[in-house]
Amino acid sequence: ISQLLQMATQIPASTIAEHASKDSCWIVVHSKVYDVTEFLDEHPGGSKIILKYAGKDATEAYEPIHPPDAIRNNLAVDKHIGEIDPTTFVKVVKEVTEADRKRQALMEARPPLDEILNLHDFEAVAKKVLPEKAWAYYSSASDDEITIRENRAAYQRIWFRPRVLRDVTSVDWSTTILGQKSSLPVYISATALGKLGHPDGELNLTRAAGKHGVIQMLPTLASCSFDEIVDAAVPDQPLFLQLYVNRDRNITKKYVQHAQKRGVKALFITVDAPQLGRREKDMRMKFVGDDAGAKVQEGQSDIKKNEGVARAISSFIDPSLSWKDIPWFQSITSMPIILKGIATPEDAVMALEAGVQGIVLSNHGGRQLDTSRSGLENLVEIVAALKKRGPWPNPNFSIFVDGGVRRASDALKALALGASAVGIGRGFLYAFCSYGQDGVEKAIQILRDEFEMNMRLLGARHLGELVPEMVDASALHSHAGLTPNDSLYSSIYQPLRLAEFRDA
């Protein structure tokens, strides 16, 4: 009842404006008024950003970063003060900048969807139409961005050895992934903060995946709430969940068990991000257009200000996570557990021995340890190590690969070398940033067409016929020498910028 009363309380904007300091800080989100004074120091994104909206409507800033229920769930009920009196509500009209206008014009001049022929095309459109900060966050990788480019290059060091005269009238590229039917040997990998790029965020992926029998891995740091996404799935649509493990294990336990109850089919625990990599494109964005920038350069800043979007919201992730925690995860869920971010045979064998159901050979899209090798290169060594440990393929232990996959031919190479399926993150992300759900459906259609053609030309009628003999991986470990220029990808790759003189 007290909650009902509070929610019925209407507060004029002038009263809210009186609480605009760190001693008393109220904010408005979706017309609701919250007292966040005591929450300021707990906010994973720091207090500074909240204080910017103290006494005001913060909805615009809140929306792309947080699931709609984040504030309701994290703030004690007695801090839910009421609702803003609608007669006093001055809607914050976001200033339309020159850049916004340019982007809108570009959005209207986008190539029609039927002229999009490959996944690189989506990336090229997204680069033009995304707000600068969103592009910087999504496209960035760590340090010198060597690994993100190596992820593409590695696929070009593998060559096909096709078989002919096999009656390839009908070819079938459907499969099962962790016991779940999938129309492609590809799943949608988790990427955070979907609403930075499209108002429907991750729901674009869920809807397209449901329609076309593709499996989506939901990110812990989605912009849509977990339940919102699950509710958007069609009946029996399989979903996987990517997990960042919270320092507070009770939060993680509740989250995992809720996911299992809602029917999620597998848990992918991210193990390669005890600390987030320094993504300089993302970080440098903070210096531009933000008043924080000037102060940072005068050296008056705390570290938080120049961390970029990702680092600012990642402090909840537990760096103490270790192999000792695996039995605990196995005790709180009966979902299959997959460790995402394995990079060596040593750790692959430890994962097998820990009794998890699989691993993802991933370098986090080049966003973590720079100059770490590609998942594809690691695959060869890891399969060899696992073969020594028992029967292979092992129906109880799957290997997935992600990073740099843009074509069905990429996926076929990984599958021939022993992967069960491959993950695509950015490819699908850019598809919805540029064309919403239609873009994701188109991306799936493109991959289907590519699988059909490439399997015919390779002489593999179904995925079981993809064998290591169909690829020449002899150059895979050679990091020197000529690698053909991947011109589509290279033309999209945005070079890093150097520090700029203030008045230049």
Q: Which of 313, 343, 359, 421 contacts ligand 173 by CB under 6 A?
A: 313
User: For 259, how many CA atoms within 13 A lie in the half-sphere containing its CB?
Assistant: 30
Name which of 192 and 215 has its Cβ closer to ligand 173.
192
Minimum distance of ligand 173 from residue 418's CB (angstroms): 26
Exposure b/e, 75-89, CB count within 10 A at least 16 = b: beeebbbbbbbeeee
- Is 141 a binder of ligand 173 (CB under 6 A)? no
8 A C-beta contact, residue 272 and residue 368: yes
Name which of 278 and 367 has its Cβ closer to ligand 173.
367
Amino acid found at 374: S
Site residues (CB under 6 A) for ligand 173, limited to 353-412: 364, 367
Q: Is 41 one of the catalytic residues?
A: no
Catalytic residue among 364, 402, 410, 489: 364
- Is 25 a binder of ligand 173 (CB under 6 A)? no
CA dihedral 147, 153, 155, 159 (to 10 degrees): -150
Q: Which of 175, 180, 314, 378 contacts ligand 173 by CB under 6 A?
A: 314
Beta bridge partners of 126: none
Stretch that binds ligand 173, among 16-24, 308-316, 341-349, 453-461 (CB under 6 A): 308-316
Name which of 386 and 433 has its Cβ closer to ligand 173.
433
Task: Compute CA 58 distance to the chain's CA centroid, rounded to the nearest angstrom.
Answer: 25
Catalytic residue among 57, 121, 200, 272: 272
- Residue with tokens 């703030």, as numbered in its chain: 75
- CA distances 414 to 175, 215, 348, 393, 472, Å, are 15, 18, 17, 14, 12
Q: What angle do CA 286, 288, 290 make, to 5 degrees?
A: 70
Stretch that binds ligand 173, among 60-68, 112-120, 310-318, 375-383 (CB under 6 A): 310-318
Amino acid found at 50: I
- Is 413 a binder of ligand 173 (CB under 6 A)? no
- Is 134 a binder of ligand 173 (CB under 6 A)? no
- Is 221 a binder of ligand 173 (CB under 6 A)? yes
Stretch that binds ligand 173, among 2-10, 104-112, 203-211, 309-317 (CB under 6 A): 309-317
Minimum distance of ligand 173 from residue 424's CB (angstroms): 15
Name which of 56 and 249 has its Cβ closer to ligand 173.
249
Distance CA 461, CA 455 (A): 7
Residue 84: its H or E element: strand 80-84
Q: Is 364 one of the catalytic residues?
A: yes
Q: What is the size of the binding site for ligand 173 (CB under 6 A)? A: 9
Neighbours of 165 (CB within 10 A): 6
Residue nearest to ligand 173 (CB): 314
Exposure b/e, 344-366, CB count within 10 A at least 16 = b: ebebbbbbbebebbbbbbbbbbb
- Is 192 a binder of ligand 173 (CB under 6 A)? yes
Distance CA 318, CA 440 (A): 33
- Is 473 a binder of ligand 173 (CB under 6 A)? no
Name which of 66 and 367 has its Cβ closer to ligand 173.
367
Q: Is 120 one of the catalytic residues?
A: no
Q: Which two tokens stand for residue 413?
A: 């190479």
- Is 339 a binder of ligand 173 (CB under 6 A)? no
Residues that are catalytic: 244, 272, 364
Residues of the shown chain interacting with ligand 173 in the complex, contacts defined by CB under 6 A: 192, 221, 273, 276, 310, 313-314, 364, 367
